[in-house]
Amino acid sequence: ATPDESVELMIPAQELPAAAQLKITLAVDGTDYSATLTTGQLAKFEGSVRCTVYLSIKPKGLAVESVTLKAWTDVTTPLGPSFD
């Protein structure tokens, strides 16, 4: 399947405490599915870096498939700088 990257959330730059966990919940057809990211998967949010979390829906909840980080590039578009 093709990944759907249409859901975006802006989070301020910050380093997460060692024991921090980020819970992600999605409602699909009236049912809530959740996954938890640990600092082992994502330790901090950095300015000028796009963090993408790839999830898959499983019968018992969401599964974190991968986390990718991509630095902001200096590309000029009619709308201003953006990710490549």
Q: What is the pLDDT of residues 9-58, one digit of tens each?
A: 888 899 999 899 999 999 888 999 999 999 999 999 998 888 999 999 88
- Work out the burial of residue 48: count CB atoms within 10 Å of its CB; fewer than 13 is exposed, 13-18 middle, 19 or more buried: exposed
- Whether the pTM exceeds 0.95: the reply is no
pLDDT score of 84 more than 60: no
- Evaluate if residue 83 carries a pLDDT over 60: no
Q: Decide if pLDDT at 65 tops 90.
A: yes
